[in-house]
Amino acid sequence: MTMPLIDPFARAIRYLRVSVTDRCDFRCVYCMSENMTFLPKADLLTLEELDRMCSAFIGMGVEKLRITGGEPLVRKGILTFFQAMRRHLDSGALKELTLTTNGSQLARFAQDLADCGVRRVNVSLDTLDAAKFAEITRWGRLPQVLDGIAAAKAAGLRVKINTVALKGFNEDELFSLLDWCAREDHDLTFIEVMPMGDLGNEDRLDQYWPLSDLRARLAARFTLTELAENSGGPARYVRIAETGQKIGFITPLTHNFCESCNRVRLTCTGELFMCLGQEDRADLRAPLRASPDNALLEQAIRDAITRKPKGHDFDYSRQSVGGQMSRHMSHTGG
């Protein structure tokens, strides 16, 4: 292995999130516009290039690979990429291969993913009400997603539900979501809505439900115990004594997690974002395609990591949206 990736704040980069497509079969209101203009196929990294790119990062110390989109499972032939990544799990260089999905295609792919060495999946699910689900996803059908989650569980995959906390939308489902996850033995993580995409400031402020309030509602009913464990991502976890559940909180606004950030994000076009909440990026597609060996690519990766910032600038505290990103969440895969 070559020298590991260390950023200017002495954080070792061990976690790469890879968007394999900008396309999705849903149009979730906080993630995408209803009428999106997608990238031409020629702009995307091929599956072979994605393999080479990810393998370079793994050779430089990345131990966790999370595949995202858009919706990663709508990318044609994506299973061959997961099959290729299996070799890094088998060698021990890669500790975890996982994905974040909307669940729509899990019924088709769950067993194949398990066969490739995937052991857990994150499923984005903001409501258990079919009508509200159709409203927030615009195009989604809740039964299809629930069938996919059931298929993942049957294949032996550990399922974590990711729920974006949205004021006036799913506040009333806090405890029903909790109860459902307890019955199904799914972990649950709540996420604060982030100021990304083309929604106006007023819309984001109207949606914003601080997790400090959500957590206080949980604490009023249950006994919460802080957990020291870390899954490699930004979530902080508690255990609910009464149910035994592990609940995560991703709080980029009320309590940012930047001090321990070990992540970078690669887009499907080969752009590397060193921070989700900053616009700075590095083009890795050009050096990848410029030479059949990885010398230029590895140097470009190292140069990019030297520009990783201390943290993001997301801020709602002054009744306006600070640090808003113009790109959609789907562009960098969350």
CB of 90 within 8 A of CB of 127?
no
Is 70 annotated as ligand-binding? Answer: yes
289 is in an annotated binding site: no
Q: What is the largest CA-CA distance in the chain?
A: 59
Cα separation values, 323 from 33, 194, 200, 312, Å: 20, 10, 13, 8
| Residue 27 labeled ligand binder | no
Q: Is 19 annotated as a binding residue?
A: no
Asked whether residue 261 is marked as a ligand-binding residue, the answer is: yes
Residue 66 is assigned to a ligand binding site: yes
Q: Is 30 annotated as a binding residue?
A: yes
Quick one: tokens of 226?
């802080």
Residue 116 known to bind ligand: no
Position 213: which residue type? D
Residue 18 marked as a ligand binder: no
How many whole angstroms separate alpha carbon 285 and alpha carbon 287? 6
Contact 224, 238 (CB under 8 A): yes
Q: Is 100 annotated as a binding residue?
A: yes
**Is 60 assigned to a binding site?**
no
Burial class (CB within 10 angstroms; exposed 0-12, middle 13-18, buried 19+) of 279: exposed
- The answer on whether 17 is annotated among ligand-binding residues is yes
28: annotated binding-site residue? Answer: yes
Query: Following DSSP, what letter does each residue of 125-188 receive, concatenated?
Result: ---S-HHHHHHHHSS--HHHHHHHHHHHHHTT-EEEEEEEEBTTTTGGGHHHHHHHHHHHT-EE
- Is 124 annotated as ligand-binding? yes
160 assigned to a ligand binding site? yes
Q: How many CB atoms lie within 10 A of CB 9?
A: 12
**Residue of 188, 72, 69, 68 whose CA lies nearest to 128:** 188
Residue 3 marked ligand-binding: no
State the binding site for [4Fe-4S] cluster. 24, 28, 31, 258, 261, 275
State the binding site for S-adenosyl-L-methionine. 30, 70, 124, 194
State the binding site. 17, 24, 28, 30-31, 66, 70, 100, 124, 160, 194, 258, 261, 263-265, 275
State the binding site for GTP. 17, 66, 100, 160, 263-265
